[in-house]
Amino acid sequence: MLRALSRLGTRPTCGPPAPTLLPARGRKTRHDPVAKSKVGRVATPPPVDPAEFYVVTERYRQYRQIVGALRLQFVNEVRSKVRESRVGVLAERKAQEDANEHRELMAWNRAENQRLHQLRIARLQQEAREQEQRQAEEQARRAREAEAWVQLKEQEVLQLQEDSKNFITRENLEAKVEEALDSPKSYNWAITKEGLVVKPQHKGS
Amino acid sequence: MPTLGAIAKSMKGRFPIRRTVKYLSRGDVVFKDSVKVMTVNYNTCGPLGEGARKFVFFNVPQIQYKNPWVQIMLFKNMTPSPFLRFYLDSGEQVLVDVESKSNTEIMAHVRKILGKNKDTLRREEQEKQQLSHPAHFGPRKYCLRECICEVEGQVPCPGLVPLPKEMTGKYQASLRADTQD
């Protein structure tokens, strides 16, 4: 009777497929001949009580109708909730508020970037001024050093000019020799480690 | 509990604490759903980019851990000053200048403009908890228990401990058959 009921019962179109019983062949394959004792055997289905069959089918029909209706109602409820959360009034309002908040935050971010930009410009200007100042000081130092060098060289030239007055030349060679012979110098003196000049105290020759 | 030797072997490199789950889960920047890509341009030297370097070294792993579906790209020494750029799904690009900022300031800035606030996170956590009912039975992936036999104080699994004869269906069926006879 169950086999007859299963033929008439409705199956839900949606949902996962129910696992069906696979034919289990057991010992013989499909190509083996039928046993001699089973030749002429006709498989008869079990007898069906019409009254019971009618009652059971009616009950199954009602059960499936109620369960299907409940399932449909729950599915519709979930779908409406999802639709409401996606395109409902509350969702639209929330999206509006989010967009406003996003605009405000982007404006704040732009202001922050602008502030950092101003700071960066000020820092770069300060660095440029310091660089110019350093270059000016360097140039002044170089100019002072060049001037000092020139003055040193001038002093050396003047000193050389002064010394050249006492140089011995061919013209005044004879006069210088006579002068040196006329003014003898004594080199008989010593100097201590402290720098004191020690001259001998001549008592005799 | 891993041994001290195992811990010492795995904790290698500079600041290996960055690779611990505890450190990564302490990150509190969860981006909004519209943020898809984050690029960080920074320089390897210079006093003004120190905050950006620390941000990349210490905080980017935390951000990536909390936002696994956001692509993060790092560019070194391409621009004179460091910055962050976010690409949203609407095509909008958000530029964040991070020169002369510390890594904590950068994190606070990013959290303010593009992160979910605490209320949103709490609401999402509650919705996620509502989806999973602790009283449901089912596969281990979705539920806490698969069968009532796992609960302490209930009848143990008949697959492990055979049921007493009085509770088996075949004994009760045989009793019913005997009474009918």
In sequence order, what DSSP letters do the residues of A80-128 get, joined into one string? Answer: HHHHHHHHSHHHHHHHHHHHHHHHHHHHHHHHHHHHHHHHHHHHHHHHH
Q: Per-residue pLDDT averaged across B147-175, rounded?
A: 93
Structural domain harbouring A104? 89-163
Distances in Å between the Cα of A102 and the Cα atoms of B35, B67, B85, B151 are 12, 19, 16, 49
Work out how many domains chain A is built from and give that number: 2
- Which residues sit opposite A19 in a β-bridge? none
Of the residues A113, A117, A126, the best mutation for testing chain B's interface (the one with the most B CB atoms within 10 Å of its CB) is: A113
Question: What pLDDT is attached to residue A148?
Answer: 98
CA distance to partner chain A, nearest, from residue B127 (Å): 13
- Sequence-ordered list of residues with C-beta below 8 angstroms from that of B19, at least 6 positions apart, any chain: B11, B13, B61
Q: Computed from CA positions of residues B151, B155, B158, B162, in that sequence, does the dihedral angle turn out positive or negative?
A: positive
Q: Per-residue pLDDT averaged across B36-64, rounded?
A: 97
Residue B11 pLDDT level (bands cut at 50, 70, 90): confident
A121/A106 same-domain check: yes
Burial class (CB in 10 A: 0-12, 13-18, 19+), A120: middle
Residue A17 reports pLDDT greater than 80: no
A105/A68 same-domain check: no
A68/A113 same-domain check: no
Decide if A119 touches B, using CB distance below 8 A: yes
pLDDT, one tens digit per residue, over A183-194 is: 989 899 999 999
Decide if A122 touches B, using CB distance below 8 A: no
The total of other beta-carbon atoms located within 10 Å of residue A98's CB is 12
Q: Is A78 a domain residue?
A: yes
A103/A158 same-domain check: yes
Residue A9 reports pLDDT greater than 70: no
Q: Which residues of A touch B99 (CB under 8 A)?
A: 116, 120
Cβ density class B147-169: b for 16+ within 10 Å, e for less: eeeeeeeeeeeeeeeeeeeeeee
Contact state of B95 with A108 under an 8 Å Cβ cutoff? no
Decide if A116 touches B, using CB distance below 8 A: yes
pLDDT, one tens digit per residue, over A166-178 is: 999 999 999 999 9
The total of other beta-carbon atoms located within 10 Å of residue B41's CB is 20
A75/A123 same-domain check: no
Distance CA B76, CA B40 (A): 8
Look over chain B and give the mean of its residue pLDDT values, rounded to a whole number: 94
- Sequence-ordered list of residues with C-beta below 8 angstroms from that of B114, at least 6 positions apart, any chain: A105, B31, B32, B35, B86, B94
Residue A10 pLDDT level (bands cut at 50, 70, 90): low
Of the residues A82, A112, A119, the best mutation for testing chain B's interface (the one with the most B CB atoms within 10 Å of its CB) is: A112
Question: What pLDDT is attached to residue A205?
Answer: 45
Q: What is the ipTM of this complex?
A: 0.80
A75/A110 same-domain check: no
Distances in Å between the Cα of A186 and the Cα atoms of A182, A183, A190 are 13, 10, 11
Look over chain A and give the mean of its residue pLDDT values, rounded to a whole number: 89
Q: Which residue has the tokens 């964040």?
A: B96
Contact state of B99 with A120 under an 8 Å Cβ cutoff? yes
Q: Is A106 a domain residue?
A: yes
Contact state of A120 with B112 under an 8 Å Cβ cutoff? no
Q: Is A171 a domain residue?
A: no
Chain A residue nearest residue B100, CA to CA: A116
Q: Is A75 a domain residue?
A: yes
Of residues B94, B88, B92, B91, the one with CA closest to residue B109:
B94
A105/A150 same-domain check: yes
Contact state of B113 with A119 under an 8 Å Cβ cutoff? no
A124/A143 same-domain check: yes
Q: Is A139 a domain residue?
A: yes
Token digits of residue B121: 């996170």
Contact state of A119 with B100 under an 8 Å Cβ cutoff? yes
- The strand order across the sheet containing B93-97 reads B71-76, B35-42, B83-88, B93-97
Decide if B102 touches A, using CB distance below 8 A: no
- Sequence-ordered list of residues with C-beta below 8 angstroms from that of B71, at least 6 positions apart, any chain: B36, B37, B38
Decide if B108 touches A, using CB distance below 8 A: no
A83/A121 same-domain check: no
A127/A155 same-domain check: yes
- Which residues sit opposite B86 in a β-bridge? B38, B94
A108/A81 same-domain check: no
Quote the pTM value. 0.67
Q: Which residues of B touch A112 (CB under 8 A)?
A: 96-97, 109
Contact state of B96 with A113 under an 8 Å Cβ cutoff? yes
CB of B57 closer than 8 Å to CB of B102: no
